[in-house]
Structure 1
Amino acid sequence: MSIPREDLPVTERHDVYPAIDPQPHFDNQTYRDKVVLITGSSRGIGQEIALFYAKSGAIVVLVARQQDTLDEVKNAIAKDVPAATIATFVADVKNTKEVQAAVEGAVEKFGKLDIVFANAGKGNEWKKPFTECDPDDWWSTMEVNVRGVYNAAHYSLPHLDKTGGYFIITSSVGAQMRRPFGSAYELSKHTLGRLNEFIKIEHPQVKSMAVHPGGILTKLADLVPEIHKYLVDTLQLPAATMLQLTSGKYDWFSGRFVSANWDLAEVEGKYKEKILAEEALVSRLAIPA
């Protein structure tokens, strides 16, 4: 799914397009010596983001719950990028101590953090009211999606302050919707939008964005078959978008919601001044004129 066109009428993208072409980053090794940590990097969007940064010269730190899946991703990236520097840390993002150990382990090993992707997430079936759902499973979605991002932010932001780095939250178009039976997922993603805004206020040296990665048929999306018809975007779309968002060109998005489906060049050319003047793309009550 994508943001309704009437909300931000720009070209809707579903795959890599000229304004986010990653090849210049690959060719020029734009992210050489940058340390990039990615939670939820054992498959799907997280794995593709890791690959794109490795191909752009970055030192990549993979974080997920199981060592065997981390090793699979590490080996796959190394096969594609033999010279890549890759480290792995096992951590459940809900576990404060494990996230702390992963972040501090990465800093101890490489000396700094430049970019952190809080990508780990959880979905649930959208079949019945939340009062008929297992309350522990409902809350588990909130814990992974909110506490997991909070934990990553809590321990990485002090290091990102030092480098003037980036903290990127994997959000969702669901953050802006209220679909029946989707309360755990959509509420958790909506909450992340506000957390993103607090990061900008409390850590102004860091560029923080809540990014909808597009509609992608990931393992998480398997739980909601009724939306599969909307999931037509490639994994390369969010990966290429992230390279652009952390390149310095789009720092003005900091503290805001961004969709990978939006043509970034059009958004900048047509709406940047208005977005900044009206403090748009944030969560707030709006009163019709």
Structure 2
Amino acid sequence: MSTPAEDLPVSHMNDIYPGIDPTPHFANKTYAGKSVLVTGGSRGIGLEIALFYAKAGANITLVARDQAGLDSAKATILAAIPESKVITSIVDVTDTKAVKSLVEFVVDTFGKLDIVVANAGKADPWQKPFTEHDPDNWWRTMEVNIRGVYNIAHFTLPELAKTKGYHIIIGSIGGQMRRPFASSYATSKHTVNRLNEYIAIENPDVKAFSVHPGAILTELAKNVPEVSSLLIDTLQLPAATLLRLTSGREDWLNGKFVNSNWNLDEVEAQFKEKIIEQGALVNRLHIPL
């Protein structure tokens, strides 16, 4: 990163602020007719993102590995927006054939894909060196967080190119840090930042972002009790951030890492020219001069 992602000198936001106020999107149904797919969509961040897009008029595909969770998530959305079109699919994102079938199912149902949110992930407690972990479980985290995102990208990008759509990876600020005992999670999140850059480079008709959702106490985050006291941000913060990122207003951040905690108004006003000029907010070796 040209500038450490966690240290970009803008206001640090923990909840919805005026620059990402979703009210106009909800009132005007700005995503009406759009097809949005969310993996890890049965709870937490994924469900909240899906709910926001549904309130803005989009057709929703929820993906997870648990039918009961998917049914509950669909019911939550329909209770809030009864007219919503919501479909669900049980898929392990590391299963290549299952992901291929998923994408075919979505396109058959809604005719297209406009926005994909790769949110499914895995985390383990940060309590001991990786040499003391079950190596198969350590690698499973890598598979879910990297191969799962890759599989979704591989099969959705050709469809997104047709609609000039958006591919969002839910990454983590953890991918920019080196914290003891977090090797599987941090390495995988760092890797998908680079994958996001390749998505943008190789798919010029698609806009791609790797997004840190904020410090949120989700069910997944509870697997890392060492940092739970720091997890104070709301689920609505990343959901509202994504509505702005996929609105067309922030296409200049294509291929970049974006932190939901950043005040995007300040980022645009103070750093847009520098970020574009320096090709910043990507993974790179950097020596401050």
> What is the TM-score normalised by the length of structure 1?
0.98
Partner of 1:280: 280
Partner of 2:116: 116
Give distance in 2, aligned partners of 1:209 and 1:13: 19
Partner of 1:82: 82
Partner of 2:236: 236
Partner of 1:177: 177
Amino acid at match of 2:147: R
Partner of 1:206: 206
Give distance in 2, aligned partners of 1:7 and 1:76: 36
Give distance in 1, aligned partners of 2:42 and 2:94: 16
Amino acid at match of 1:15: D
Q: Indicate how the Cα distance of structure 1 residues 88 and 227 shifts in structure 2: closer, same or farther if over 3 A, else same.
A: same
Task: Report SS of the residue matched to 1:208.
Answer: strand
Q: Is the 8 A contact 2:49 2:239 kept in 1?
A: yes
Q: Indicate how the Cα distance of structure 1 residues 5 and 39 shifts in structure 2: closer, same or farther if over 3 A, else same.
A: closer
Partner of 1:48: 48
Q: Deviations over 1:235-273 (max 9, x none)?
A: 000000010000000011110000000000000000000
1:40-189 to 2 correspondences below 5 Å = 40-189=40-189
Give distance in 1, aligned partners of 2:120 and 2:5: 28
> How far off is 1:7 after superposition?
2.6
Q: Deviations over 1:147-202 (max 9, x none)?
A: 00000000000000110000000000001000000000000000000000000110
Task: Report SS of the residue matched to 1:30.
Answer: coil
Partner of 1:191: 191
> How far off is 1:287 after superposition?
2.5
Pair 1:35-2:35 in alignment: yes
Gaps of 5+ in 1: none
> How far off is 1:223 after superposition?
1.3
Deviation beyond 3 Å, 4+ runs, structure 1: 3-6
> How far off is 1:204 after superposition?
1.1
Give distance in 1, aligned partners of 2:171 and 2:263: 17
Partner of 1:269: 269
Q: Indicate how the Cα distance of structure 1 residues 195 and 32 shifts in structure 2: closer, same or farther if over 3 A, else same.
A: same
Q: Indicate how the Cα distance of structure 1 residues 39 and 5 shifts in structure 2: closer, same or farther if over 3 A, else same.
A: closer
Amino acid at match of 2:163: T
Give distance in 1, aligned partners of 2:64 and 2:5: 35
Give distance in 2, aligned partners of 1:6 and 1:119: 21
Give distance in 2, aligned partners of 1:215 and 1:17: 16
Amino acid at match of 1:138: W
Give distance in 2, aligned partners of 1:21 and 1:4: 27
* Count of aligned pairs: 287
Q: Is the 8 A contact 2:120 2:144 kept in 1?
A: yes
Partner of 2:223: 223
Give distance in 2, aligned partners of 1:56 and 1:6: 30
Task: Report SS of the residue matched to 2:169.
Answer: strand
Amino acid at match of 1:271: F
Q: Indicate how the Cα distance of structure 1 residues 260 and 134 shifts in structure 2: closer, same or farther if over 3 A, else same.
A: same
Q: Deviations over 1:39-95 (max 9, x none)?
A: 000100000000000000000011111212111100110000000000111100111
Gaps of 5+ in 2: none
> What is the TM-score normalised by the length of structure 2?
0.98
Task: Report SS of the residue matched to 2:285.
Answer: coil
Give distance in 2, aligned partners of 1:161 and 1:5: 29
Identical-pair percentage: 61
Amino acid at match of 1:160: L
